A and B are shown apart, each in its own frame.
Chain A
Amino acid sequence: MTLTETAPGASEADLERQFEATIARHDRIEPRDWMPEGYRRTLVRQIAQHAHSEIIGMQPEGNWITRAPSLRRKAILLAKVQDEAGHGLYLYSAAETLGVSRLELTELLLAGRQKYSSIFNYPTLSYADVGTIGWLVDGAAICNQVPLCRTSYGPYGRAMIRVCKEESFHQRQGYELLATMMRGTDEQRAMVQESVNRFWWPALMMFGPPDADSPNTAQSMAWGIKRNTNDELRQKFVDMSVPQAEALGVTLPDPELRWNEERGHHDFGQPDWEEFMEGVKGNGPCNAQRMAHRRRAHEEGAWVREAATAYAAKQRGAAS
């Protein structure tokens, strides 16, 4: 409930000027502020997609929980996957401040009308994939999420701060897992290399299409929702990953990858953007499986939600 929904006598143009001034000061927009409809819509789409990605993202790694090679690895993986559930909830909570409900967003996902990151449509074929996901997939997510801590919408930025604090554990446990395997047998080293070969290109795709093909980036940056372009973040990720790969003793599967002295950055090849578009359209290797699993979890959990509601109603009845 608010005291006043809009300042008395403020015209739409005044409100828009106030909004623009807040953005220009690099100040944050908060839930009860007036905001342009496009800004709200863009945020709902982006935060929902981000939330769905965290929740769907539990599946590829969850696949290995029962087959973790030691109790130590199992406890770590459980904690990591639980964190991802938490990230999803932080983000749904941020989205709800924009006047949508979590159930509504879940139903849009299940109806195929909202998306999640295509990275989670790739299968996890070996235990090395748990390490590679932590190192490269969570690593790429960190590159994306650190600048989002300064995004113009307050609740989204605060959720990102919370998420980023936890991501560092995700990346380090993955890298440590791979480093342990690299000190093992030839077969284990081959497993790591094979896993990196499969995940390197999809990890690069996580930053989205090249800037030239990303029509919404300019508006998102003008609104302060995004702080960097897709290509800037991709470059940053490549520059960070190369020395990490060297230290690990794996080869990144890109023949064009080399240091460019003049630019002060690595040159690198482009991922297969057609494969990316197929994934976005729902034709990636595991799209159907991921959605079917999410739908089943939602439906099979219905009785728990209903029972808890009934119990709470009964308790309230007994108390009054």
Chain B
Amino acid sequence: MSTVEKEWPLYEVFVRGKRGLNHVHVGSLHAADDRMALLHARDVYTRRNEGVSIWVVRADAIAASSPDEKDPMFAPSGDKVYRHPTFYDIPDNVPHM
């Protein structure tokens, strides 16, 4: 099936819910170009004040890790327990820490 040429490219959509928050991935959509992707994202993903800002990115421009395959990608953070505050014992009588 020649769906590849017939179909508009896929865009991933990120919405900032309100000022002060990160853009969060909400889904995807098809559009002929960036401007249409933004307009469609507004209509599909923000019909009820869900956002104050939208990012759209061509899906084929995203490089991704594989979440389930923790090794070796995420291993370096696993064995550095000293990065967490709970690693350090502070006596109970020390306040404000």
A: residues with CB less than 8 A from B are 1-7, 10, 18, 22, 30, 32-34, 82-83, 86, 89-90, 93-94, 96-97, 101-104, 107, 155, 158-159, 162, 165-166, 305, 308-309, 311-312, 315-316
Query: Given A2-B66, A83-B47, A103-B7 in contact, is the A7-B27 Cβ separation under 8 Å?
Result: no
B8→A32 contact, CB < 8 A: no
Can you name the residue of chain A whose Cβ is closest to the Cβ of B13? A93
Query: Given A93-B28, A101-B7, A102-B7 in contact, is the A7-B71 Cβ separation under 8 Å?
Result: yes
17 CB contacts below 8 A, A to B, read A2-B64, A2-B65, A2-B66, A3-B66, A3-B73, A6-B69, A22-B68, A30-B67, A86-B47, A89-B44, A97-B28, A102-B30, A103-B3, A103-B6, A309-B32, A311-B33, A316-B33
Q: Which of B28, B43, B44, B65 contacts A96 (CB 8 A)?
A: B28
Can you name the residue of chain A whose Cβ is closest to the Cβ of B4? A101
Q: Which of B30, B36, B63, B69 contacts A1 (CB 8 A)?
A: B63
Q: Which of B3, B30, B68 contacts A30 (CB 8 A)?
A: B68
Interface readout for B46-87 with A: 1 if CB under 8 Å, 0 if not? 011000000000000011111111010100000000000000
A34→B1 contact, CB < 8 A: no
Q: How many A-B residue pairs have CB under 8 A?
A: 81
B36 proximity list for chain A (CB < 8 A): 308, 312
Query: Given A1-B64, A308-B8, A315-B33 in contact, is the A107-B69 Cβ separation under 8 Å?
Result: no
B: residues with CB less than 8 A from A are 1, 3, 6-8, 10, 26-30, 32-33, 36, 43-44, 47-48, 62-69, 71, 73
A96 proximity list for chain B (CB < 8 A): 10, 28
Tell which of A34, A103, A165 has the most Cβ of chain B within 10 Å.
A103
A90→B27 contact, CB < 8 A: yes
Q: In the complex, A233→B21 CA distance in Å?
A: 37
Q: Which of B10, B30, B66 contacts A33 (CB 8 A)?
A: B66
A159→B32 contact, CB < 8 A: no
Top 8 closest pairs, chain A to chain B, by CB: A312-B33, A312-B32, A308-B32, A33-B68, A7-B69, A93-B27, A93-B28, A32-B66
Can you name the residue of chain A whose Cβ is closest to the Cβ of B34? A312
Query: Given A93-B28, A93-B29, A103-B6 in contact, is the A32-B68 Cβ separation under 8 Å?
Result: yes
Q: In the complex, A6→B69 CA distance in Å?
A: 7
